[in-house]
Structure 1
C-alpha cells in the first residue's frame, strides 16, 4: 500500500511538473477534459498501480474474517472466490476518480497538451524511466530514514547521558 501511495503521488507530481501553466481547481471538469486525463493515465500505465486492488482487498478481508472464524476456513476460501468474481472490475472506480482529479486541476487545453507531450519522445522516456527513478528514490528514502533514525537515537542517548541517565 505504501508503494502504491508513493507511486500515485509521484505520478501526480510528474504530471504537474510537465504542465507549463497549472490551472486553478475546477470542481466540474468537462467530459472532454476527463477523457484527456484518462488518456494520460493510460499512457502512464497508472492502472498498473491498482489493477490488483479488488483481489488484494478481498484476500485481506477474508484473512481478517479467518482470524476470528477459523472453523469456516473452507467456506471463507470459497466465498472469497465468489466475492472477487462479483466485485471484479470495481478497481476502474479508482482510475475514474484519478482522471477526475487530473481534469479538475488542469484546463482542457492543458490536458490536450499533456497528452501530446506524453506521446512525444521525451514524454515516452519519462514514462519509461519513472518506475526506476521512483524505485531508486524510495530506496534512498528508506536508507536515509534508517541512517537518520539511528542518528536521532544516538542524539537522544547523548542528551540523556548528559542528564546522567544511560539508555
Structure 2
C-alpha cells in the first residue's frame, strides 16, 4: 500500500462521509425521541466525561480571557479572578440546555435499550472505576501522544527527505513544524 493511493482513498472516504453526514442531518434533526429515551441519554451524559467537556471548555475560555486581559492591564489580576469565577458559576448553573443537546446526540445513536445497558454497565464497580479514571487516563494519553508527536515529527520529516532522495529528487532542508501547546512552542 503506497501513501498516495491511501491518501486518495482517505480523501474519497472523507468526501463520502461528509456527504453521508449532510444527507443524514435532516433525519437526525427530525427524529422523534421519547422523553424516557432522552432522559436515559441524559443520565449517561451526567455520569460520563461528556458533561466534563463543558467544564473544561469553560476553564479554557477563562484562562484565555485571563491571559488577554492581564497582558493589557496586569493590575486587573485580582478583580479578574473574581469576575471569572462569577461568570464561570453562571455558566455552570445554565448548563442544562447544552447537556440536553449532548443527550440528544446519544439518543439518536443508541436505542433506549442500548442506553439502559450502557448506564447499567457504568453503575457496576468496574464501570464506576472506569468513570472515575477517565479524566486522568485521557490526560495521560494526551501527554504520551504529545511527546510521541514531538519526537516523531523530526524522524517523519527525515524519512520523507530520504525517500525523496531515493527517488532522485533534491529534498529541501526544512525544519519539522513546531507543535504548539496553549500558545507556547513545544520543546523538541
Normalising by structure 1, report the TM-score.
Answer: 0.59
Contact preservation (8 Å) 1:36, 1:112: yes
Q: Contact (CA 8 Å) 1:44, 1:127: kept in 2 or not?
A: yes
Aligned to 1:163: 170
Query: Whole-Å Cα distance in 2 between the matches of residues 49 and 135 of structure 1?
Result: 13
Q: Deviations over 1:47-68 (max 9, x none)?
A: 3332364565466457657878
Query: In the comparison of the two structures, how many residue pairs are matched?
Result: 143
Gaps of 5+ in 2: 1-26, 175-188
The 3-state SS of whatever aligns with 1:136 is helix
Please give the alpha-carbon distance, in whole angstroms, between the structure 1 residues aligned to 2:171 and 2:50: 54
Flag the 1:138–1:55 CA change in 2: closer, same or farther, 3 A: closer
Instruction: Identify unmatched segments of 5+ residues in structure 1.
Output: 1-23
> Is 1:121 aligned to residue 132 of structure 2?
no
1:1-16 matched pairs, under 5 angstroms = none
The match for 2:39 is 35
Match of 2:134 in 1: 130
Do the aligned residues in 2 keep the contact of 1:34 with 1:103 (CA within 8 Å)? yes
Partner residue of 1:97? 101
Counterpart CA distance in 1 for 2:116 and 2:95 is 25
Of structures 1 and 2, the one scoring higher in RCO (CA 8 A, sep 6+) is 1
Assess if the C-alpha contact under 8 Å between 1:54 and 1:91 holds in 2.
no
Q: Give the superposition deviation at 1:115.
A: 1.4
CA RMSD of superposed structures (Å): 3.8
Report Cα offsets for 1:112-156 as digits up to 9, x if no partner: 111111112232232233233323322221122112201123235
Instruction: Compare 132-141 and 33-42 and name the one that shifted more.
Output: 132-141
Q: Name whichever of 117-126 and 131-140 sits farther off.
A: 131-140
Shift of 1:83: 5.5
